[in-house]
Amino acid sequence: MGTFLVTCLLILTLSQQIVSAQQPQVKEELAEDFVKLEMPLEEALTQTTFVVEWLSGDGSTEVNFQGENIIRTPDYIELPSDNDKDGRTDSYYRILSKYAVETNRYIFVPLDDWGGGSGIFRSLHAVDKKTLRTVEAIALGDRSGIWGLTVADPSTDTISITYVREEDWRGNFTDSIDKAIKAHLRMIDGKLRDVADPLSPIPPDRVFFRAGSFFTMGSWEKDAETDEKPHHVVFLDAFYIDKYETTNAQYKEFIDANPQWQKSRIPKKYHDGDYLKHWNGNDYPPDKGNHPIVYVSWYAAMAYAEWRGKRLPTEAEWECAARGSWHWGAMNADTANYGENVGDTTPVGTYPPGASGLYDMAGNVWEWCLDEYNPDFYAISPSHNPLAGGTMDNIVSDWANVKTVRVLRGGSWVSNAKFVRVSDRTRFTPRITSNARGFRCVKPVTP
């Protein structure tokens, strides 16, 4: 018995020594994540190279706040232009040093670009503390007013920002705190991403869009369809949207758990006869588990979304996400599956994601939306959370009794370029299925 106790004590002692030996190493690894500035924060800002993207999107300018003409105040550091008119400058760059904050790896600071009569364009820059150079910048809008910028979590490089657009696109002033946009932004893989909460983990299969996000919906192009007009400003509540279109493998999980939606059991009122036409019984085609589900009706998409605790996106949510995720001017056979350039659907995520991390918002499959199709809806659309064909509660709770045509967006692998434009709208009855129609889901963020 004595030998046994001695052996146990030796094992315990060795275990404690191993743990003790590991602890300093863990602390050193954490310490390496923190980058210490070797100078005061304000001085670091004057040593920083700010990369300012051109409004045209065709290039950028590198700006350094050094020289004899630098203006310093308690709130900002200004670099006037060389053009001086009667003792006043007609343009400038201005660091809003009053709002500069520091996390473990980055400095976050707003920057103004004023071009005289063009107005003030404000952007938020993430500056790498190791290189003192802009690595990411996002636009806050024309004439925006900042109410606050704070560090939410320095270890994950997360900040909270509150700002308003002091003037909207019609020239109306909106600079009141009740109309402020409150956002939490986190640096992830070198990109500033919206997160629902400063400390919340980001679901890996979704992208978040903040409450208060607004965009111009529709088209102002002369050759656009009449149902894409007039273009109008839309404000949305916060929502998550799936990063990928729903796949065959994901849909199989649904029908396995809900046998009433299997192709041999689904009621006729929920499909046109071609439901899951390409499946062999309850099995999807070999090697197509990661392809988007097709031959599903609007009803089937709604049932799947409900089972997942989600819903289909409204037209406005879909277009907001598409505009924020896709460089539409750069669309070609290397960036999207459309125009029968492949001849079939492709696995989700085959093509590069857009700026916000969403895949296949253009092409691959048309995506069902929640809305009833109304060609004249844009003329009467409310500005806040627009939805055609009823209220959110009524449509989501009574979708099985919906009869009217529903909207699809985004184009598909068979569509030509005209139909994969971000503002293009199409529609079909909710029973229709085809080899080019699928869906993705959204999940609202409760306040």
pLDDT in tens, 210-243: 776 667 899 988 889 999 999 998 888 889 999 9
**CA gap 421, 223 in Å, rounded:** 12
Q: Which of 94-108, 184-198, 240-254 has the lowest mean pLDDT?
A: 184-198
pLDDT band, very low/low/confident/very high, at 142 (cuts 50, 70, 90): low
Strand partners for 165: 144
Homologous superfamily, domain 244-444: paralog of FGE (formylglycine-generating enzyme) (3.90.1580.10)
**CA gap 293, 368 in Å, rounded:** 12
pLDDT of residue 204 exceeding 50, the answer is: yes
The pLDDT value recorded for residue 264 is: 95
- The mean pLDDT value for 186-207 works out to 84
**CA gap 372, 135 in Å, rounded:** 42
pLDDT of residue 27 exceeding 50, the answer is: no
The pLDDT value recorded for residue 83 is: 54
pLDDT of residue 113 exceeding 60, the answer is: yes
Which residues are within 8 A (CB) of 20 and not within 5 positions of it... i.e. 6 or more apart?
A: none
pLDDT of residue 271 exceeding 70, the answer is: yes
**In the chain, what are the domain boundaries?**
41-202, 244-444
For residue 348, give both structure tokens: 């989700």
pTM above the 0.75 mark?
no
pLDDT band, very low/low/confident/very high, at 7 (cuts 50, 70, 90): very low
**CA gap 215, 88 in Å, rounded:** 35
The pLDDT value recorded for residue 267 is: 96
Q: Which of 6-20, 58-72, 252-266 has the lowest mean pLDDT?
A: 6-20
- The mean pLDDT value for 283-291 works out to 97
pLDDT of residue 366 exceeding 90, the answer is: yes
The pLDDT value recorded for residue 72 is: 93
The pLDDT value recorded for residue 210 is: 79
Q: Which of 8-22, 34-48, 239-253, 328-342 has the lowest mean pLDDT?
A: 8-22
pLDDT of residue 328 exceeding 50, the answer is: no
pLDDT of residue 23 exceeding 50, the answer is: no
pLDDT of residue 3 exceeding 50, the answer is: no
pLDDT of residue 292 exceeding 60, the answer is: yes
Q: Which of 21-35, 160-174, 374-388 has the lowest mean pLDDT?
A: 21-35
> What's the per-residue H, E or C state across the chain?
CHHHHHHHHHHHHHHHHHHHHHHHHHHHHHHHHCCCCCCCHHHHHHCCEEEEECCCCCCEEEEECCCCCCEECCCCEEEECCCEECCEECCEEEECHHHCEECCCEEEEEEEEECHHHCEEEEEEEEECCCCEEEEEEEEEECEEEEEEEEEEHHHCEEEEEEEECECCCCCECCCHHHCEEEEEEEECCEEEEECCCCCCCCCCEEEECCCEEEEECCCCCCCCHHHCCCEEEEECCEEEECCCCEHHHHHHHHHHCHHHCCCCCCHHHCCCCCCCCCECCECCCCCCCCECCCCCHHHHHHHHHHCCCECCCHHHHHHHHHHHCCHHHCCCCCCECCCCCCCCCCCCCCCCCCCCCCCCCECCEEEEEEECCCCHHHHCCCECCCCCCCHHHHHHCHHHCCCCEEEECCCCCCCHHHHCCCCCEEECCCCCCCCEECCCEEECCC
Do strands 437-438 and 366-372 pair parallel, antiparallel, or not at all (unpaired)? parallel
- The mean pLDDT value for 190-202 works out to 81
Tell me how crowded residue 383 is: count the other CB atoms within 10 A of its CB. 13
| Mean pLDDT score across all residues of the chain | 85
pLDDT of residue 14 exceeding 80, the answer is: no
CA distances from 224 to 116, 326, 370, 372 (A): 33, 19, 23, 20
pLDDT band, very low/low/confident/very high, at 94 (cuts 50, 70, 90): very high
pLDDT of residue 68 exceeding 70, the answer is: yes
Phi, psi for 246 (deg, rounded to 5): -60, 135
Say which residue, 61 or 439, is predicted with more confidence. 439
pLDDT of residue 55 exceeding 70, the answer is: no
The pLDDT value recorded for residue 416 is: 93
Say which residue, 331 or 82, is predicted with more confidence. 331
The pLDDT value recorded for residue 25 is: 32
Phi, psi for 182 (deg, rounded to 5): -110, 120
The pLDDT value recorded for residue 325 is: 56
- The mean pLDDT value for 53-70 works out to 83
pLDDT of residue 302 exceeding 50, the answer is: yes
- The mean pLDDT value for 365-378 works out to 98
pLDDT of residue 433 exceeding 70, the answer is: yes
- The mean pLDDT value for 126-144 works out to 88
The pLDDT value recorded for residue 143 is: 65
The pLDDT value recorded for residue 20 is: 38
Output b/e per residue, 246-284; b: 16+ Cβ within 10 A.
bbbebbbebbeeeeebbbeebeeebbbebbbeebeeeeb
CA distances from 429 to 297, 325, 372, 404, 407 (A): 9, 28, 10, 6, 9
Q: Which of 24-33, 92-101, 388-397, 437-446 has the lowest mean pLDDT?
A: 24-33
